[in-house]
């Protein structure tokens, strides 16, 4: 019969070994987020894209050409984007899909929006029509606007990007929507 110390040791060591083996075997996936702006500079030799957002902030992103980590990236959005190393259209408005944060952002794909100018609306969600994928927001000046979302709409959430068909906002959520005015219909392009 094992001693009390032996039983205690077995109870502590065996679970620790199992947990350690499980943690070292599990692989992580990078969560993809998005940022939009104008691609001011594309440097293929340095593998960087310099992006200027609507508020004038410049962000330099390294493209992810060397390592190929696993991504948690919406398949529909991925299909409509170009690998960042193949993008070469400075001056175009883009959505850059990336992982990481701060200065460690790594670009993985780019959705080219061309020279199209986007409008911006910010406000509080007052209504979400799941059936028609339409969100209504109230701006600070108390005006309301409704926006149409679809599977091509990029929505950046704290848990990563999803397409507009998977977006599920709640009343009271604060959102920022970049959109196109298509004959009186507001088509959301990028939402966060």
Domain boundaries, the chain: 30-114, 119-191
Give yes or no on whether 30-114 and 119-191 have one common fold. yes
Three-state secondary-structure class, residue 170: coil
Q: How many CA atoms lie within 13 A of 53 on its CB side?
A: 13
Q: Tell me which architecture the domain covering 119-191 has in CATH.
A: Beta Barrel (2.40)
Q: Answer for the pair 175, 122: CB distance below 8 angstroms, yes or no.
A: yes
Per-residue pLDDT of the chain (192 residues; tens, 9 = 90+): 555 545 544 454 444 444 343 333 345 788 999 999 999 999 988 889 999 998 889 999 888 766 667 778 899 999 999 988 889 999 999 999 999 887 788 999 999 999 988 999 999 999 999 999 999 999 999 999 999 999 999 999 999 999 999 999 999 999 999 999 988 899 999 999
Q: Which residue bears the tokens 């992810």?
A: 64
Q: Answer for the pair 49, 63: CB distance below 8 angstroms, yes or no.
A: yes
For the domain covering 30-114, report its CATH number.
2.40.50.320
């Amino acid at each position: 019969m094992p001693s009390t110390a032996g039983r205690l040791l077995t109870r502590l060591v065996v679970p620790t070994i199992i947990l350690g083996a499980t943690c070292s075997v599990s692989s992580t996936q990078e969560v993809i987020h998005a940022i939009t702006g104008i691609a001011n500079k594309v440097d293929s030799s340095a593998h960087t894209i310099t992006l200027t957002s609507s508020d004038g902030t410049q962000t330099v992103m390294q493209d992810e050409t060397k390592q190929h980590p696993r991504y948690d990236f919406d398949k529909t959005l991925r299909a409509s984007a170009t690998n960042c190393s193949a993008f070469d259209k400075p001056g175009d408005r883009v959505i850059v899909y990336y992982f990481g944060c701060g200065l460690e952002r790594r670009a993985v794909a780019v959705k080219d929006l061309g020279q199209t100018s986007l409008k911006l609306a910010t406000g509080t969600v007052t209504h979400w029509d799941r059936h028609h994928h339409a969100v209504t927001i109230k701006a600070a000046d108390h005006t309301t606007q409704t926006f149409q979302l679809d599977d091509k709409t990029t929505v950046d959430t704290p848990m990563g990007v999803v397409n507009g068909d998977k977006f599920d906002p709640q009343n009271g959520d604060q959102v920022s929507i970049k959109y196109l005015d298509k004959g009186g219909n507001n088509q959301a392009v990028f939402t966060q």
